[in-house]
Copies of this chain bind each other. A is one copy, B any other.
């Protein structure tokens, strides 16, 4: 699919204007846009502005409460539950990370659950926030069921994302960010839009047969990463994000696309770790530099040009986007422009 480069500030204002026109409060519109642009600027198209049409559809239908504020539902020493109150997951997850950082400053580690939430976009956005504040963090959450349990042929588990953020002295943090499915569903949508195949091992069709056709995969089942290991991780995240926060889990979670009028009531789970409770920050910075140098000096395999740290490819693309503009698929941009038109906005006022 052709990509175009779009001005970062123009795209930011354009997306915010669309969300505000759909009834979202400006602060929340900014956060949701920040998270989408986090992804597109890093070349992670699967989590970028391609989500705006469904977000807007869910706002209009009532599945996402436009006026909701995130609020603290319970608070007890190093733990807390933040409720999204059926509003945007991004707003509540951002607040959860902020609360968890404050608590980790005091207790050394903190866990904040996010309850009654919706889609949060790229989990790496939140672990990067914590890493920029100097903290190690783990962010995960459950989603509508897209995978069977290992060996089964009915959907029970989400592609439940898992991100880990690790500060690296003066450098860009290491950001690990993965779906616990073999491939992210967003990437399957992209392959479908582009008319491309998906890798074998990502999905089964609705009869339980392996497929490389994204259309069949969307009708069928995603497979977990690393087989039963990904099944276990996805299930554990369902417990942390869903059960522990008092949100929905497993087959209870309504579909994001199919039922735009129903709040998803998914949950997320944030753990933040204060490095200074373990070792001095200056020593940490020295040691992590040693670790990274040890990785960077490794000779690549013949077919590989260089060794990357987790999140480094995305960081390099981010720097390129800062310079040249945000890469957006032509078809995705068409969809977003059409959406803007329906809301009475003129793309030309933002994107030139």
- Residues of A that sit less than 8 Å from B by CB: 74, 76-79, 81, 106-111, 113, 136, 148-154, 156, 164, 166, 174, 176, 178, 182, 208, 225-226, 228-233, 235-236, 238-240, 242-246, 249-252, 271, 273-275, 277-279, 283-284, 287-288, 290-291, 294-295, 298-302, 304, 306-310
Contacts A76-B277, A81-B278, A109-B110 given; indicate if A238 touches B291 (C-beta within 8 A): yes
Contact A78 B81 (CB under 8 A): no
Closest 3 CB pairs of A and B: A79-B108, A176-B232, A152-B298
Given contacts A154-B298, A239-B288, 10 further A-B contacts (CB under 8 A): A79-B109, A79-B278, A108-B111, A109-B110, A136-B244, A150-B307, A151-B301, A178-B232, A235-B291, A243-B287
Residue of B whose beta carbon sits closest to that of A155: B298
Contact residue among B228, B284, B300 (Cβ-Cβ distance under 8 Å from A153) = B300
Contacts A250-B294, A277-B79 given; indicate if A231 touches B150 (C-beta within 8 A): no
Residue of B whose beta carbon sits closest to that of A246: B279
Bound complex: CA of A243 vs CA of B287, how far in Å?
A: 6
Bound complex: CA of A81 vs CA of B307, how far in Å?
A: 33
Contacts A106-B77, A225-B229 given; indicate if A284 touches B151 (C-beta within 8 A): no
Q: Which residues of B contact A231 (CB under 8 A)?
A: 310
What are 26 A-B interface contacts by the 8 Å CB criterion? A77-B106, A77-B277, A81-B278, A107-B107, A108-B111, A109-B111, A149-B295, A151-B301, A153-B298, A153-B299, A153-B301, A154-B299, A156-B298, A164-B233, A164-B236, A176-B229, A176-B235, A178-B226, A208-B301, A226-B229, A226-B230, A228-B310, A231-B310, A232-B310, A249-B291, A250-B290
Q: Which residues of B contact A233 (CB under 8 A)?
A: 164, 176
Number of copies: 2
Residue of B whose beta carbon sits closest to that of A293: B250
Contacts A79-B274, A178-B229, A291-B250 given; indicate if A152 touches B304 (C-beta within 8 A): yes
Residue of B whose beta carbon sits closest to that of A182: B226
Contacts A107-B77, A151-B304, A226-B226 given; indicate if A295 touches B250 (C-beta within 8 A): yes
Contact B307 A151 (CB under 8 A): yes
Contacts A148-B298, A299-B153 given; indicate if A78 touches B250 (C-beta within 8 A): no
